[in-house]
Structure 1
C-alpha cells in the first residue's frame, strides 16, 4: 500500500464517492455507482441502486466515526484500493478498512470493503 495517498491519482469518481460517504450525502454517493453495481460489506452483498441506497443510509447512521485516508494504489486498469483508518463508537473502536473499487464507464461497478 502506498504510504502517501497522494502518490496515486485516484479517479474523480472514487474521490467523489469518498467525500460524499464521509459527509453522509447518500444521493451524491449513490450517483457514483452504475445502476447494476454491487457492494460487499460486513459479510453482506448489495446489488443495484435500491439496495446500495439502503446500505448507504444504514452505514451513515449506524455509528459515529471519523475516517483518515492512509493509503491508495492502482491495481490495473479501472481497479483501485483505498485504505482508510476509522475511529468511532462501533465495536472495537478502530479499524483499517480496504475499499476495493472496480470502475466501468467512469462509475463504480463494484466496491468490496473489508479489513
Structure 2
C-alpha cells in the first residue's frame, strides 16, 4: 500500500493500516458515535462499523492504494485505487474523512 509513502494524518493512516487487519481494528479507528456512509448505506457507531467491515470482508477481497489527498473545509479527501474481486474492479474511490480528537468521526466513500 503506497499510503506508507503518501503523508496522511495519523487517524487516516491508521484506518488504511487497520483495513488489512480486520473489522475490530477498523472499528477502533472511529469515535464511539462515528458515521460511515458506503454503497448507499449509513452505519452509525463502532459496532455497526465493525459489522459493515465484517460483511465487506466476507464478500470481497481487495487492496486499497491511496494516491492523493487534499483538505477542504476540514474534510480530508483521500483518493485511492481499489482492486479486488468485485464487479467494476479496479476502480478509483474517494474517501472523505472528518476527524475528531484523534479519531475518525465521519467517513463517506464514493466513486
TM-score (norm 1): 0.85
Listed as ranges, the matches of 1:14-29 within 5 Å are 14-21=12-19, 23-29=20-26
* Deviation readout 1:38-95 (Å, 9 max, x if unpaired): 0000000001111111001112221122222221112244x21111111121011211
Aligned length: 109
Aligned mates of 1:6, 1:33 — CA distance in 2: 20
User: 1:67, 1:7 → 2: CA distance?
Assistant: 14
Q: Distance in 2 between matches of 1:6 and 1:25?
A: 19
Structure 2 unaligned residues grouped into runs of 5+:
none
Shift of 1:26: 1.9
Q: Distance in 2 between matches of 1:114 and 1:52?
A: 17
Listed as ranges, the matches of 1:26-105 within 5 Å are 26-77=23-74, 79-105=75-101
Cα RMSD (Å): 1.9
Please, what TM-score do these two structures have when normalized by structure 2?
Answer: 0.87
